[in-house]
């Protein structure tokens, strides 16, 4: 069984730094859009310039033509990582090779993410198997009752191989699949949500 869900950025807690820090009470987390397959290179530049960042990685097994297998650490969100900066530091970040844009919101201004969203990703990657997943928006809904993503509601899809929850980080329109235990799920009776209904909304309002 898989669960399809949206990540509510208002229901999760505070992050811990991964790298050197630009400390300020005005610093916020922002999504940084990068050149394709240059996420790790951009992260290296950020570290060298002592800018706090978070690059979520997941492990993936690949098989080469000769039959050998290797485990790779790949970006959880292709072409994206997260920086913890003041708004005035945006120019400094965009001067880094491979950094293309700080994701904006209404009016083109950089759109900050709650600290809670980054903390949930950190905790979730330590506790569960997580990997990228395509967006799905229709089906029977369920609530996750335990773990880093407790309180999230999603759409249940029954498949072989256990239970997963697909969460959407709305600011970058990227999804992740999170493995969960059957006992951590609470089925709910709600109306079906069409893709046009879900965009930009907390899933509990569908």
Could you tell me which residues come within 8 angstroms of residue 91 by beta carbon, excluding any fewer than 6 positions away? none
Rounded to 5 degrees, what angle do the CA atoms 176, 96, 34 make?
A: 25
Using one digit for the tens of pLDDT, what is the confidence trace for 76-117? 999 999 999 998 899 999 999 999 999 987 777 889 999 988
Which class is 28-63+72-115 in CATH?
Answer: alpha beta
139, 157 contact by CB (below 8 A): yes
Q: What is the pLDDT of residue 176?
A: 85
Q: In the predicted model, is pLDDT for residue 206 greater than 60?
A: no
Return phi, psi of residue 91, to 5°. Answer: -65, -40
Q: Where are the domains of the chain?
A: 2-11+120-205, 28-63+72-115
pLDDT tens digits along 134-187? 877 777 677 888 888 888 777 766 667 777 877 778 889 888 888 888 888 888
pLDDT above 90: percentage of residues in the chain: 39
Say if residue 160 is exposed, middle or buried (CB neighbours under 10 Å; 0-12, 13-18, 19+).
exposed
H or E element that contains 28: strand 28-34
For the segment 4-24, the average pLDDT, to the nearest whole number, is: 40
């Amino acid at each position: 069984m898989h669960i399809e869900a949206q990540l509510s950025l208002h229901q999760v807690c505070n992050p811990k730094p991964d790298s050197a820090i630009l400390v300020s009470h005005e610093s916020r987390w922002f999504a940084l859009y990068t050149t394709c397959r240059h996420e790790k290179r951009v992260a290296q530049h950020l570290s060298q310039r002592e800018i706090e960042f978070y690059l979520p990685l997941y492990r993936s097994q690949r098989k080469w033509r000769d039959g050998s297998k290797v485990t790779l650490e790949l970006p959880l969100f292709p072409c994206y990582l997260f920086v913890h900066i003041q708004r005035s530091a945006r120019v400094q970040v965009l001067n880094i090779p491979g950094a293309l844009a700080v994701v904006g919101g209404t009016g083109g201004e950089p759109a900050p993410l709650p600290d809670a969203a980054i903390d949930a990703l950190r905790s979730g990657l330590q506790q569960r198997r997580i990997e990228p997943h395509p967006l799905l928006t229709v089906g029977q809904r369920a609530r996750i009752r335990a773990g880093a993503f407790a309180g999230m509601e999603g759409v249940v899809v029954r498949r072989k191989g256990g239970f997963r929850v697909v969460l959407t980080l709305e600011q970058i329109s990227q999804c992740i699949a999170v493995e969960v235990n059957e006992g951590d799920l609470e089925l709910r009776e709600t109306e079906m949500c069409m893709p046009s209904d879900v965009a930009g909304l907390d899933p509990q309002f569908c």
